Amino acid sequence: MSSPTAASDREKVVSKLPGWLRQSLKVRAAQHGIEIQTAVEQGIRDWCSLASMPASIDTAGADSFSTFLPPGQWDEFRGIAAERRVSLIQGLAQSVQLWLDTNPAPDVVRPEITRRIVVCNQKGGVGKTAITAGLGEALAEDPNALYSVRVAKALTKALRASETRAGETAPSDDPLDIENLPGPGLQVLLVDFDPQCHLTNQLGATPLPMNGDSLTNHMAGDPKGDLRDLIVSIDEDTFGGRLHLLPACNDAFLLDVRLSAVRAREAALERALASLEGDYDVIIVDCPPSLGLSMDAAAYYGRRRDGERHGQSGALIVVQAEDSSADAYELLTSQIDDLRNDLQIDIDYLGIVVNLYDSRRGYIATSSLQGWVDIKDPRVVGLIGDLKEQKEAVRVKQPLLSYAPKSQQAVAMRALAREVL
């Protein structure tokens, strides 16, 4: 049942476990940030120390399971199992269950102040909506399940590679750069702040009617009901009721005109959404491609509040690796800087997301990416490839992370979520 391994000072143990128990062990170990072998070692040690036998575990359908234990522990375990007249499979299952019982899943870490992420760029077509949706989906994934996540070193590798060569779609798909991690499990509200209703349509929801209530009405001080009544849940089977959407309405085309008559108009979005913040950990605003009053209101909403740490809320800027995005970036940051100075407020930059990237497009793409990397503050926090799954998800009106949860784009969205967190 065991054999020495030259890779470490542990010995390899081969036994069996039921699939459901092995999966629970994988998830819980990841939640606590420890290796599976460490959890099994602790469970066996505690099981061997028990004064009485725990409840029997259903081991029907158990299949092969291997791990590495300190030298001698398996022999000790085997002897105690013989004394207690239980099979090694039953004893191992009881040990694993004992560890699970004594190491419950940690609570989801929730922010004291609702985090507000404003996804923006006055240039259309850069993919703000896709980033808004993907980020929100990644933040709302199940904390009791494991998902493929591209770790930070992969982003660094892709960025460095852009300096030296073209000809390979980034990011790299090296499996060594992937980790399986629990979902953040946050309560997320996506706000479609664009009169074109792209976010609403892409997620399969229905835009609000022009003659009904809307976010625009609430911002203009003319509400027709409770804003909470307009919110819809997105794909409850996948996100467990943690991902919600406030749909857009075409009346937002008139928002700047209506805001011009509102007092303290830069705070209009904050006033409208204030009653919802208690229900959510994160609110993500998909901004229109505009530098008008609506963008002022969005940027103000993302400002750092009293008692809020730097980088908890702010502006997430979506760009592409091409020249026109750089021009739009300058205009946007100038507007935000003017707002900072005029109102004496702090608006943090959460980072730059380079979207729809494909290094096969050659020098323009790779040199532009390097230009974004050289900015340093804000730094590049996401690199999303131009691949087919996002377009397919939009076509079928499904969230990307439920339509293609193992795609490179989904993996990169999860990495972005962890960078922003």
* Whether residue 223 is found in the same domain as residue 315: yes
pLDDT at 269: 97
The span from the CA of 74 to the CA of 83, in Å, is 14
Model confidence at 134, in pLDDT bands (50, 70, 90)? Answer: very high
Q: Are 22 and 32 in contact (CB under 8 A)?
A: no
Cα dihedral across residues 145, 380, 312, 276: positive or negative: negative
Minimal CA–CA distance to 326: which of 385, 298, 367, 381?
Answer: 367
Residue span of the structural domain in which 93 resides = 2-102
The answer to whether residue 168 scores a pLDDT higher than 50 is: no
Cα dihedral across residues 407, 411, 414, 419: positive or negative: negative
The answer to whether residue 368 scores a pLDDT higher than 90 is: no
* Whether residue 372 is found in the same domain as residue 332: yes
Position 110 in a domain: no
SS3 244: strand
Tens digit of pLDDT for each residue in 258-273? 998 889 999 999 999 9
* Whether residue 178 is found in the same domain as residue 83: no
Contacts of 254 by beta carbon, 8 Å cutoff, 6+ apart? 216
* CATH code: domain of residue 243: 3.40.50.300
* Whether residue 84 is found in the same domain as residue 164: no
* Whether residue 158 is found in the same domain as residue 290: yes
Which of 50, 77, 102 is a domain's end point? 102
Q: What DSSP string runs through 380-392? A: EEEEEE--HHHHH
Tens digit of pLDDT for each residue in 221-235? 999 999 999 999 999
Would you call 135 exposed, middle or buried from its count of C-beta atoms within 10 A (0-12, 13-18, 19+)? buried
Among 49-53, 102-106, 313-317, whose mean pLDDT is lowest? 49-53
The answer to whether residue 169 scores a pLDDT higher than 70 is: no
Residue 41 token pair: 């070692």
Among 96-100, 185-189, 383-387, 394-398, whose mean pLDDT is lowest? 383-387
pLDDT at 323: 77
Q: Are 118 and 285 in contact (CB under 8 A)?
A: yes
Average pLDDT for 58-62: 94
The residue assigned the tokens 């030296």 is 164
Average pLDDT for 327-340: 91
Position 108 in a domain: no
Tens digit of pLDDT for each residue in 241-256? 999 999 999 988 889 8
* Whether residue 162 is found in the same domain as residue 263: yes
The answer to whether residue 172 scores a pLDDT higher than 90 is: no
Beta-sheet pairing, 314-319 with 115-120: parallel
The answer to whether residue 52 scores a pLDDT higher than 70 is: yes
Position 414 in a domain: yes
* Whether residue 69 is found in the same domain as residue 153: no
* Whether residue 51 is found in the same domain as residue 151: no
CA-CA distances (angstroms) from residue 375 to 198, 330, 351, 356, 368? Answer: 30, 12, 10, 19, 11
The answer to whether residue 4 scores a pLDDT higher than 70 is: no
The span from the CA of 66 to the CA of 208, in Å, is 54
Average pLDDT for 316-326: 86
* Mean pLDDT of all residues belonging to the chain: 90
Number of domains in the chain: 2
The residue assigned the tokens 């096969």 is 360
Position 280 in a domain: yes
Which of 37, 72, 102 is a domain's end point? 102
Beta-sheet pairing, 349-357 with 314-319: parallel
The span from the CA of 294 to the CA of 315, in Å, is 14
* Whether residue 242 is found in the same domain as residue 369: yes
* Whether residue 398 is found in the same domain as residue 332: yes
Q: Please tell me the pTM assigned to this model.
A: 0.90
Specify the higher pLDDT residue, 309 or 156.
309
Which stretches within 260-403 are classed as H helix?
268-273, 293-301, 323-343, 363-375, 388-396, 400-403
pLDDT at 66: 95
